Chains A and B, each alone.
Chain A
């Protein structure tokens, strides 16, 4: 619309560039974590994760093997030494393992990029040197030339970016790893699923009553739900923990499920009521005229029609319970630590393994991967829920 009068806005490019900058700024932190989780301990220690994207270019000085020991007599006074520069240097076991690729090389420190791989360097008086891109070399010359120390070769080698799944294997699938995330992942899942499903049904019935049934005090109850929407759950910690202990639930899954149900209800009722109020009045009244009971109207008409709102709330509640730390610490995790959830585990790792980024990054990414998948697949419902849920 900015170009409505036929004048294309000169700002268009500025807009594209600023959006790109903003997006980059916003995904950069997450990207750092993701990339780090695929790097080895050594790589993380020695360079920033942003360097992992590019091939590492290194200048190295390597030496051919000791001619006195390894030279082969070719006859007619000529000798040859053959091998692999990286193997001689001790970097790798065999020529197949060479990680790097030589882009240029030379035999003099003043001219280190004199030759490309495969070229033969003339070292004078018939002495020659050929180096391939993987470091294989052939060095030929007479008795005099092939003695003493091995010929120096200056190479510029490029190693491709290297990534590993070892961190994930270690964190998720190593049964011997007591700091692993497998159990915590499972515990989080155990907390999340019932805590997402149970409030939906309870809230749906209440929301229907608040939306479509006439009774005294309805407005007051809606106001109460709106009020409870913002009550900090911090207030509930001690009173409810005391209560749970008193009735014998103690710390455990049942307690955390109940707590999440209670804390999730105001948003659930509010979202669902707002949605149900907007459903067409005729449908409900026709059903009433046709003799349907309220229970039938609810289960046959309202519930199916409210699916988008139910999905919205389910996503909210899922994200919230999956990502929660405080409620789990207070109502679930006991001294044994058997029921620890991922968020808690990560906080603990931050304390004990603060510098070991390969473990931290991988653990954190394991815990945020599931919400990210949910987010990207169900974004539509999430946005719709947000729009309905923010108090207008």
Chain B
């Protein structure tokens, strides 16, 4: 069947199915199961209203449970079993094997570097951009241009930056801007930037910083706008200079938002996969956990170690998960 037709049918069936489900299940509840007529009308209405929320939520709960909650436990189970031995329980053997691999520790080291640098740099650039564009006329245009990389896929960004990092032989014109600048500044010969161990990680990180700065800027810009004017006015009256106003008056008031931006980018960084996969595929010591996991799952077909490394990613996300839930609950009260 033509995929377009299949897609159209899926939309119709999916949307129509949802509408039909919600409509008819409500009808069934109100008209057949607990009719709001007859001798037990009052009791029936109460019962129907007690059931209705679950009717409304059932498809979502089902999908969430199946597609996100169940896999967490299934992955945990896979990580402590051996697939080749028919799924026998082998305890921590997969983990032990993984901990013995140098590629794994390389991935952990790189992930930690990503975690330290990317959220910090993105937030800092975002804050800078938000503050600078705050009061100028063409600020919204500038913001939307800095924000634009958000719409670009990681793969697209990988191509964009590969062109920047491109290296040609010494005797021909350089078409990668980084090498062109490097040679202009007196560099001896062009460098293939992505193959220089250790430093190439930073060249990959720049791609994500480029993408995430816009996000940080948008959120922080809104936070800066939300600062009560009186606090800034008072500081000006007291003779504070613009830098003092920024660092001593504004930053403390948006500290909460900065934390939010930081953690949100941290989550993105923890799952980073496409950029590394497309640009170096983990070669030249640029491996990260998500790509290591993909390697294990789909290239080496080693589900045990692959699941174990997925659990490591989960473990690293957990503190943020707990923190978010804690905050959300605090806010609801």
Residues in A lying within 8 Å of B, measured CB to CB: 1-2, 4-5, 9, 11, 15-16, 18-20, 22-23, 26-30, 32-33, 36, 44-50, 186-187, 190, 193-194, 197-198, 201-203, 205-206, 208-210, 213, 215, 218-219, 221-240, 243, 253-254, 257-259, 261-263, 265-266, 269, 293-295, 298, 319, 322-326, 329-330, 339, 343, 346-347, 350, 357, 360-361, 363-364, 367-368, 371-372, 374-376, 379, 382-383, 386-387, 390-392
13 contacts between A and B (CB under 8 A): A1-B229, A2-B245, A16-B136, A48-B180, A205-B18, A205-B56, A224-B69, A262-B67, A326-B273, A368-B152, A383-B222, A391-B263, A392-B256
Q: Please give me the 8 A-B residue pairs with the lowest Cβ-Cβ distance, nearest first.
A: A262-B67, A323-B153, A206-B60, A375-B151, A239-B74, A236-B71, A209-B56, A364-B159
- Is the C-beta of B303 less than 8 angstroms from some C-beta in chain A? yes
Distance in angstroms from B115 CB to nearest chain A CB is 14
Asked whether, in the complex, the Cβ of B142 is within 8 Å of the Cβ of A375, the reply is: no
Asked whether, in the complex, the Cβ of B156 is within 8 Å of the Cβ of A202, the reply is: no
Residues from chain A with a CB closer than 8 A to the CB of B26 are 293-295
Chain A interface: which of B103-111, B197-205, B210-218?
B210-218
Residues from chain B with a CB closer than 8 A to the CB of A360 are 159, 162-163
Residues from chain B with a CB closer than 8 A to the CB of A326 are 273-274, 294
- Is the C-beta of B306 less than 8 angstroms from some C-beta in chain A? yes
Asked whether, in the complex, the Cβ of A22 is within 8 Å of the Cβ of B78, the reply is: no
Asked whether, in the complex, the Cβ of B68 is within 8 Å of the Cβ of A375, the reply is: no
Distance in angstroms from A145 CB to nearest chain B CB is 41
Given contacts A187-B3, A238-B306, A350-B162, 12 further A-B contacts (CB under 8 A): A1-B229, A19-B132, A223-B328, A227-B324, A230-B321, A237-B71, A265-B63, A294-B49, A298-B56, A343-B155, A367-B155, A391-B327
Q: Considering only CB atoms, which chain B residue lies closest to A215 in the complex? A: B53
Asked whether, in the complex, the Cβ of B163 is within 8 Å of the Cβ of A357, the reply is: yes
Q: A22-B128, A209-B56 are in contact. Are A197 and B147 (CB under 8 A)?
A: no
Asked whether, in the complex, the Cβ of B63 is within 8 Å of the Cβ of A261, the reply is: yes
Partner pick for B147 among A4, A32, A379, CB 8 A cutoff: A379
Partner pick for B3 among A203, A253, A347, CB 8 A cutoff: A253
Distance in angstroms from A35 CB to nearest chain B CB is 10
Residues from chain B with a CB closer than 8 A to the CB of A390 are 219, 260-261, 264
Q: Considering only CB atoms, which chain A residue lies closest to B78 in the complex? A: A238
Instruction: Mark each residue of chain B from 319 to 331: 1 if its CB lies under 8 Å from any CB of chain A, else 0.
Output: 0110011011101
Q: Considering only CB atoms, which chain B residue lies closest to A11 in the complex? A: B242
Q: Considering only CB atoms, which chain A residue lies closest to B243 in the complex? A: A11
Asked whether, in the complex, the Cβ of A197 is within 8 Å of the Cβ of B15, the reply is: yes
Chain A interface: which of B88-96, B116-124, B171-179?
B171-179
Q: A223-B329, A226-B328 are in contact. Are A387 and B218 (CB under 8 A)?
A: yes
Asked whether, in the complex, the Cβ of B145 is within 8 Å of the Cβ of A4, the reply is: no
Complex Cα distance, B264 from A324, in Å, reads 18
Residues from chain B with a CB closer than 8 A to the CB of A197 are 11, 14-15
Complex Cα distance, B168 from A357, in Å, reads 12
Q: Considering only CB atoms, which chain A residue lies closest to B25 in the complex? A: A295
Q: Considering only CB atoms, which chain B residue lies closest to A5 in the complex? A: B236
Instruction: Mark each residue of chain B from 1 to 15: 1 if its CB lies under 8 Å from any CB of chain A, else 0.
Output: 001101100110011
- Is the C-beta of B50 less than 8 angstroms from some C-beta in chain A? yes
Residues from chain B with a CB closer than 8 A to the CB of A259 are 67
Partner pick for A371 among B11, B70, B152, B162, CB 8 A cutoff: B152
Asked whether, in the complex, the Cβ of B314 is within 8 Å of the Cβ of A379, the reply is: no
Asked whether, in the complex, the Cβ of B59 is within 8 Å of the Cβ of A206, the reply is: yes
Instruction: Mark each residue of chain B from 222 to 266: 1 if its CB lies under 8 Å from any CB of chain A, else 0.
Output: 100000010011001100001001000000000010001101100
Asked whether, in the complex, the Cβ of A391 is within 8 Å of the Cβ of B151, the reply is: no
- Is the C-beta of B54 less than 8 angstroms from some C-beta in chain A? yes
Interface residues of B in 108-158 (CB under 8 A from A): 125, 128-129, 132-133, 135-136, 138-139, 142, 144-156, 158
Chain B interface size band reads: 35 or more
Instruction: Mark each residue of chain B from 77 to 92: 1 if its CB lies under 8 Å from any CB of chain A, else 0.
Output: 0100000000000000
Asked whether, in the complex, the Cβ of B324 is within 8 Å of the Cβ of A238, the reply is: no
Distance in angstroms from B95 CB to nearest chain A CB is 15
Partner pick for B232 among A1, A18, A186, A350, CB 8 A cutoff: A1
Distance in angstroms from A28 CB to nearest chain B CB is 8
Distance in angstroms from A16 CB to nearest chain B CB is 6
Q: Considering only CB atoms, which chain B residue lies closest to A46 in the complex? A: B173
Asked whether, in the complex, the Cβ of A235 is within 8 Å of the Cβ of B327, the reply is: no
Partner pick for B60 among A19, A218, A269, A361, CB 8 A cutoff: A269
Distance in angstroms from A273 CB to nearest chain B CB is 11
Q: Considering only CB atoms, which chain B residue lies closest to A216 in the complex? A: B50
Distance in angstroms from B211 CB to nearest chain A CB is 10
Asked whether, in the complex, the Cβ of B160 is within 8 Å of the Cβ of A364, the reply is: yes
Residues from chain B with a CB closer than 8 A to the CB of A45 are 172, 175
Partner pick for A239 among B53, B61, B78, B146, CB 8 A cutoff: B78
Distance in angstroms from A158 CB to nearest chain B CB is 19
Complex Cα distance, B219 from A47, in Å, reads 40
Complex Cα distance, B219 from A209, in Å, reads 28
Chain B CB within 10 A, most for which of A2, A44, A374:
A2
- Is the C-beta of B278 less than 8 angstroms from some C-beta in chain A? yes
Distance in angstroms from B235 CB to nearest chain A CB is 10
Residues from chain B with a CB closer than 8 A to the CB of A363 are 159
Complex Cα distance, B219 from A387, in Å, reads 6
Asked whether, in the complex, the Cβ of A295 is within 8 Å of the Cβ of B324, the reply is: no
Q: Considering only CB atoms, which chain A residue lies closest to B155 in the complex? A: A343
Distance in angstroms from B70 CB to nearest chain A CB is 7
Asked whether, in the complex, the Cβ of A32 is within 8 Å of the Cβ of B159, the reply is: no
Q: A22-B129, A368-B152 are in contact. Are A295 and B74 (CB under 8 A)?
A: no
Asked whether, in the complex, the Cβ of B19 is within 8 Å of the Cβ of A201, the reply is: yes
- Is the C-beta of B64 less than 8 angstroms from some C-beta in chain A? yes
